[in-house]
Amino acid sequence: MSTTVAPTPAPSRIASAAAVARSLPMRAIEVFSGPVGFAVKIALLAVMNGIAVWAATILIGKHNWISLAVLAAATAAIDAIYLARRAIPAKFLVPGTIFLLAFQVAPIVYTINVSFDKYATGHVASKHDAIQAIKQNSLSETSSGTAYTMAPAHDASGKLVLVLVDQDTNKAFVGSPEGLKPLPAGSVQVNSDGAVTGATGYTLVKGNELFKLDQALSNYTVPAGKAGAIRPQGLDTAVALQQTLRYDPRTDSFTRIKDGVVFRDNGKGSFASASGEQIEPGWRTRIGFANFDRLIHDPLVRKPFLRVLLWTIVFAALTVLLSFALGLFLAIALDKKGMRMRRFYRSVLVVPYAMPGLLSILVWSGLLNDEFGVVNRVFHVHVPWLFDPNVAKISVILVSLWLTFPYFFLVSMGALQSIPGELYEAARVDGGAAWQVFRKVTLPLLLVAVAPLMIASFAFNFNNVNNIYLLTGGGPAMSDNSVAGSTDILISYTYKVALATGKGQDYGLASAITIIIFLIVATISAFSFSRTKALENLA
């Protein structure tokens, strides 16, 4: 009696491909675990150390010794971790820690640091740069009105100088940042039009190169005598200027020459007189809690800030509450199993959530246009949706409702499915009406799951700059001519204070407002989360 052994089936191509795909990670690990991996590690560490050396040279040049010490310690620690055979967990934690410090901790620390500085338009440079700028700006034409025919040139070493001919005396000079030096008679050639055509020992700048010097010449100054200077006016003329302010480095003060008024460092980044008159520009300096003090005591800052704060809370609260109410209503309405086309209705209601919010807001901005918008044309009305302060706020809330309610619809629909049906049956047996069942059973159990999401949504809408800036730009403008528009929330107001305003940028004040925003959102969120514990106990 013979037995027949069934042949072993050959593995399919799909199974073989899957096995190969599963083995690829292991093969990669094997490759990078040997000499190849070690070489790659050394190369990456070399690049990192090179970047650290480059950063160290910059820090040394700025005499930032604390940052230099931190950089050296961090670089040495990273090298030690990755060159050691152990410390496996640290090797995985270091990259994430670096990105956390670079993109989260560092911006937060920098924002806090800026909030204690006088850092605004006219106060962005160092004190040394501000002193030099004041000296440059304080030059004005002399009463004699001495003018020179000028020609930019290069000396033997290639340095830019000015060949000057006094239009009254025809004496020739060469001017540089070091001073004014007379030239021998006949060493400068002038044509019949009075233009300089040549100078012995100097190469005149001509053609396209001359026009490229426009920026350099605008800041070029030639010292000439006591408290005087010569400055180019265009490409072929220079004038004698007189210093109107004299700086005394011993007392660190400026004196106005015509009346003797003294301007001293006021400790707030400016030179100021006894009467409060200030010289521009100033410099960036530490001013402590002055930016926070302005939010409390300066009416020009306090009034728009409080108005924007109140509207921000109203906007975020109404957006969340209305979106939750509408989403819950639609979820309950579509929770009936016998309803026809229920899947179709659910899909349609999710469309606003599936579309990119930025595009939706821009589309709504066009639909609500005062003159050309489809809404006004279809209904034959003339409603200033985006141009009236009160109507614009309603428009912002309605558009935010359109963008947010699908989220709560999905969340509520999922939460409703998790409520046991026995609870509804028991409530009906006890004689509960539909409203009582909803209020005593559905809503409390629903809030256990949804309340934390509502808090998160409130925090999101509290800083939802897209819905404001893309729809109304924070406008329309208010009658008090403040930076804040009628629909600005705190985050868009902060952006305008820091960057997008024609009244000057104030980075210090904007950073202070940013910290206030964080404290408000953190306080509200902490209080709200503590209240959700009562809902959990109730459930």
DSSP 314-373: HHHHHHHHHHHHHHHHHHHHT--TT-TTHHHHHHHHHHHHHS-HHHHHHHHHHHT-TTT-
CB contact set of 27 (below 8 Å; sequence gap of 6+)? none
Whole-number Å distance between alpha carbons of 54 and 29: 33
Whole-number Å distance between alpha carbons of 141 and 277: 23
| CA neighbor of 147 nearest in space, from 70, 219, 239 | 239
* Four-CA torsion 411, 416, 419, 421, nearest 10 degrees: -160
Phi, psi of 231 (to 5 degrees): -135, 140
DSSP 267: S
The sign of the CA dihedral 357, 361, 363, 364 is positive
Pairing of strands 117-118, 139-141: unpaired
Whole-number Å distance between alpha carbons of 120 and 118: 6
Q: What is the gyration radius of the CA atoms in the chain, in angstroms?
A: 36
- Given a cut of 70, the residues of the chain with pLDDT beneath it are 1-33, 142-145, 227, 338, 500-503, 532-539
Domains delineated in the chain: 31-117 (1.20.58), 127-285 (2.40.430.10), 297-538 (1.10.3720.10)
| CB-facing half-sphere around the CA of 296: CA atoms within 13 A | 7
User: Quick one: pLDDT at residue 327?
Assistant: 94
**The tokens of 324 are what?**
């939750």
Q: Which residue has the tokens 């000499």?
A: 35
| Residue 230, strand partner residues | 222, 240
DSSP 143-208: SS--EEEEEEEE-TT--EEEEEEETTT--EEEEETTEEEE--TTSEEE-TTS-EEEETTBEE--TH
**The tokens of 153 are what?**
């040139």
**Angle CA 364–366–371, to nearest 5:** 130
| CA neighbor of 78 nearest in space, from 35, 47, 56, 39 | 47
| Residue 96, strand partner residues | none
Question: Position 261: which residue type?
Answer: V
Write down the pTM of the prediction.
0.79
Q: For residue 313, with 0-12 CB atoms within 10 Å meaning exposed, 13-18 middle and 19 or more buried, which class applies? A: middle
Whole-number Å distance between alpha carbons of 515 and 494: 11
Phi, psi of 91 (to 5 degrees): -65, -30
The number of angstroms, rounded, from the C-alpha of 274 to the middle of its chain's C-alpha atoms is: 37
Phi, psi of 151 (to 5 degrees): -145, 115
**The tokens of 473 are what?**
């730009």
The number of angstroms, rounded, from the C-alpha of 481 to the middle of its chain's C-alpha atoms is: 24
| CB-facing half-sphere around the CA of 76: CA atoms within 13 A | 6
> Taking the CB of residue 353, how many other CB atoms lie within 10 A of it?
17
User: Quick one: pLDDT at residue 26?
Assistant: 65
Pairing of strands 285-286, 117-118: antiparallel
CB contact set of 34 (below 8 Å; sequence gap of 6+)? none
DSSP H/E element including 288: none
State pLDDT tens for residues 80-139. 998 888 878 888 898 899 899 989 999 999 999 999 999 999 999 999 999 999 988 888
